[in-house]
Amino acid sequence: MAKLKLEFSPYTYTRVQVMRTKLFKKQDYDRLLKMTFAEIADYLGKTNYRTEIEKLGLTYAGADLIEYALNLNYKNEIDKIKRISGPSLREAFETYLLREDFHTLKILLRGLSSGIELTDKILSQLTRGVGRLKKQKIEHMRGAKTAYELLQRSGLVNLKMFKDLQGQSRFDLNSVENRLDHAYYGKVLAFTGQLTKQGKLYADFLKNEIDIQNILTIAKFVRLGRPAEEIRRHIIPAGNILSVHRLERMAASPRFEDIHQWLRHTPYHALVSAFIKGESSLLFFETALYRQMLQKSIKLMHLHPLSVNTIIGFTLLKEIEVKNLKTLVKGSQLGVDPEQIEEALVL
């Protein structure tokens, strides 16, 4: 198969680096943590989110306004990167953004599984519209009555992976979502394999994320006392540091406390040790792992500033910023202690 060469585009990479300078810094979050909800909303209206807040201010108010404005700003930033990228660079970026389509598919599956009607408002708050699935396609998917029909209508996956769902009205949501993760990473890693030199940089970025996903999956299931065979099925065999052999040994650990032994001499050992000692909840453990991934991503961006990793890295940083701000706004609105909010932020 012929290799695909990405354009060398200093202009695009430089523009994205400039966009990165506008992201919130630690001192911005420190300031926001001391504010009331009204003060946070006013502060955001003076930042890079001003345009979206002013545009949506005639239609929405309060927390809804901030939520929609954050999503719209994210979409606008992603659309801008697409516009300033050449054909092959745009294709590489859009392949990465398939994660947004898989995320939308998962949201629809969760609605189907729970029997909860996903209104337009709920969907617009939970999705950002930057993938390849357009509104008309999503509406068509919403009409599906079974998981198999929904997957079929999405056009995102090879249905052979889900043939056991055919004719079934009930389904195991965890199992289906895990297979979707396998399908997503399989698609993107297959694409990176078609690239020349930058393909390895792109793949390394994704494999760091896969390591995090595998650790979280094993941590959750071992704590729930799930059998090793079930846990093994959920492992994505394509990480950067953690081999399949090591992951399978972790999955077979009879006690959660044994897992960290298999993570010795890895960057994750200290985080898992703190979790075992009860110094952090599963939510904060997940946050700590994503902080670790964030630092790795920033390092890769610094090492390879004129590569596709600049774009992928910025997208991850922007996604994290939007999640952080939503957490801050929600926490402030509910009166959560600022220290607890800060622990949930990925900084």
Same domain, 91 and 188: yes
**If you average pLDDT over residues 295-319, what whole number do you get?**
88
Q: Please identify, among 194, 227, 257, the residue that sits at the C-terminal boundary of a domain.
A: 194
Burial of 124 (0-12, 13-18, 19+ CB in 10 A): middle
Q: Which residue has the higher pLDDT, 246 or 152?
A: 152
Burial of 326 (0-12, 13-18, 19+ CB in 10 A): middle
Cα–Cα dist 304/301, whole Å: 5
User: Does the residue 9 lie in any domain?
Assistant: no
Same domain, 168 and 212: no
Same domain, 203 and 272: yes
CATH number for the domain that contains residue 282: 1.20.1690
Q: Which residue has the higher pLDDT, 243 or 277?
A: 243
**If you average pLDDT over residues 190-214, what whole number do you get?**
87
Q: What is the pLDDT of residue 280?
A: 57
Confidence of residue 301 (pLDDT cuts 50, 70, 90): confident
Q: What is the pLDDT of residue 334?
A: 92
Cα–Cα dist 67/48, whole Å: 14
- Cα dist. 278→17, 215, 256, 273 in Å? 39, 17, 12, 9
Q: What is the pLDDT of residue 121?
A: 84
Confidence of residue 219 (pLDDT cuts 50, 70, 90): confident
Same domain, 189 and 214: no
User: Does the residue 264 lie in any domain?
Assistant: yes
Cα–Cα dist 139/96, whole Å: 23
279, pLDDT greater than 80: no
Q: What is the pLDDT of residue 297?
A: 82
153-162 pLDDT, tens digit per residue, is 999 999 999 9
Q: What percent of the chain has pLDDT over 90?
A: 58
Same domain, 268 and 253: yes
Same domain, 207 and 163: no
Same domain, 185 and 93: yes
Same domain, 168 and 95: yes
**Residues spanned by the domain of 160:** 86-194
List all residues 6 or more positions away from 61 whose beta carbon is below 8 Å from its beta carbon.
none
Q: Please identify, among 141, 170, 194, the residue that sits at the C-terminal boundary of a domain.
A: 194
303, pLDDT greater than 90: no
Q: What is the pLDDT of residue 200?
A: 83
User: Does the residue 1 lie in any domain?
Assistant: no
User: Does the residue 313 lie in any domain?
Assistant: no
Same domain, 235 and 183: no
9, pLDDT greater than 60: yes
Q: Calculate the average pLDDT of the chain.
A: 89
Q: Which residue has the higher pLDDT, 257 or 280?
A: 257
Q: What is the pLDDT of residue 262?
A: 81
Q: Which amino acid is at 346?
A: V
User: Does the residue 17 lie in any domain?
Assistant: no
96, pLDDT greater than 90: yes
User: Does the residue 94 lie in any domain?
Assistant: yes
Name the domain count of the chain.
2
Q: Is the dihedral of CA 266, 289, 313, 195 positive or negative?
A: positive
Same domain, 187 and 201: no
Q: Please tell me the pTM assigned to this model.
A: 0.90
User: Does the residue 45 lie in any domain?
Assistant: no
Q: What is the pLDDT of residue 11?
A: 93
Same domain, 203 and 286: yes
Q: Please identify, among 194, 214, 237, the residue that sits at the C-terminal boundary of a domain.
A: 194
User: Does the residue 280 lie in any domain?
Assistant: yes
Q: What is the pLDDT of residue 2?
A: 60
